[in-house]
Structure 1
Amino acid sequence: MTSRIWVRLFMTTLLIGAVTTAIVGFIINWNEYVHYFTDFRIINILSALFWFILWGLLYSVISQMGYFAYLTVHRFGLGIFKSVSLWNGIQVVFILFVLFDLVYLRFETFANQGESWLPYIGLAVLLLIIGSITAWYKAKQTNREAFIPALFFMIVVTVIEWFPVLRVNEEEWLYLMLFPLLACNAYQLLILHKLNLKSQQERQRIESKRTTNKNTNVSKKPSI
């Protein structure tokens, strides 16, 4: 990937993280901030917006670190196991393990006496649905073998990125971080192959231009 395209990916992902966090932040805290809008408290609205944008930028950076870390791990996995099907099978095991722990460990750690399993299962199901839709679309854009790696990234890597908030288990922060992470992760996953293609085309244009200029300079040399 060329540096120009990488910078474009970085900045666009930052923007997605900031916008998503701002929207989710105002939605889940609407009861707290609604009087800012009804009373036209512009300073308070801008202060809250600025706060959410800062968190969104942080979530975006975490997402990008996680994505490029996964790309490295994915290459190592393919190199170690020498088989796409075997590596995909191992990723499926990790996906099931993480989804189980997301429900069972959180329930055992944070649930009160007599509390229902449904909120804990619902969060895992939400992550599975969004991850499956994103992975299906990735496979449709590229090839069927991309489904499992994409699902692994959307579930396992997202949970790893999400872990600091999972430890606290504050509902507001759970959703405030989850949706920006999912948005940034899905965007990077779905756009990277397109950017790689553009990067290859850009390199070919540059190389073609260099070759043309070189041939032109040679043809202009005076003959003895």
Structure 2
Amino acid sequence: MNSKKVVYLFFTTLLVGSISGAIVGFILDYSVYTEGSFLNMFFGLIWLLGISAAFSLVSQMGFFAYLTVHRFGLGLFKSQKLWNYVQIIIIAFVVFDLIYFRYIAFALPGETIFNFMIMPILLLLYGIVIAYLKAKDTNQGAFIPALFFIVVITTIEWVPALTVNDPKWLWLYLTPLITANTWQLLILHRLTQAK
């Protein structure tokens, strides 16, 4: 992959993450951004684009870190199959932790664990869909690594918002992360193909 493609990946990921985060942020606080003057909405949108751009940069760092970890895992376990089993176990632990530890930390008296299962299960289902698309576009061996990236790496990047547990920040932080991660995952093989 040449430098032109790396620059393309960087800026398109930044754009995808920024716009998606700004849209969701605007919807979440619609009344705040639409009350008052036009300048209130304008500067609110600039702020949303900026904060979402920062989150998409986190996504890009996570993506390149995962590419390194994936190569390291393949070298360490000497087998794609064994490395896939390790990734499946880590995915299961992360989904469990997202449910259980958030429930322990943030559940109100009388609140059930079911409320804390929704987001992790949706993330897992989304990861399965994206991993299927990646495997369909490349090869079946890409399914587990793609699922691992969408579920585990996105969760690691999402930790600052998870510790706050504010629903608005959970979605505002997750949106640019998940869209940027999805974009990078689904575009990379197209950029690296020889022409």
Identity %: 50
Q: Which residue of the partner structure matches residue 72 of structure 1? A: 68
Q: Which amino acid is 1:131 matched to?
A: G
Q: Which amino acid is 1:63 matched to?
A: S
Q: Deviations over 1:62-99 (max 9, x none)?
A: 00000000000000100111111100000000000000
User: Superposition pairs for residues 75-90 of structure 1, below 5 Å?
Assistant: 75-90=71-86
Q: Deviations over 1:102-124 (max 9, x none)?
A: 00000000111111222210011
Alignment gaps of 5+ in structure 1: 202-224
Q: Deviations over 1:158-196 (max 9, x none)?
A: 000001111111111000011111100000000001001
- Whether 1:132 and 2:128 are equivalent positions in the alignment is yes
Is 2:34–2:41's contact at 8 Å kept on the other side of the alignment? no
Q: Deviations over 1:128-186 (max 9, x none)?
A: 11111110100000011110000000000000000111111111100001111110000
- Relative to the length of structure 1, the TM-score reads 0.85
Which is higher, the Rg of structure 1 or of structure 2?
1
Q: Helix, strand or coil: the match of 1:172?
A: helix
Q: Helix, strand or coil: the match of 2:108?
A: coil
**Which of 121, 124, 147 is residue 151 of structure 1 equivalent to?**
147
Q: What count of residue pairs does the alignment treat as equivalent? A: 195
Q: Distance in 2 between matches of 1:119 and 1:15?
A: 32
Q: Distance in 2 between matches of 1:27 and 1:96?
A: 32
Q: Which residue of the partner structure matches residue 103 of structure 1? A: 99
Q: Which amino acid is 1:171 matched to?
A: P
- Whether 1:32 and 2:41 are equivalent positions in the alignment is no
Alignment gaps of 5+ in structure 2: none
User: Superposition pairs for residues 176-195 of structure 1, below 5 Å?
Assistant: 176-195=172-191
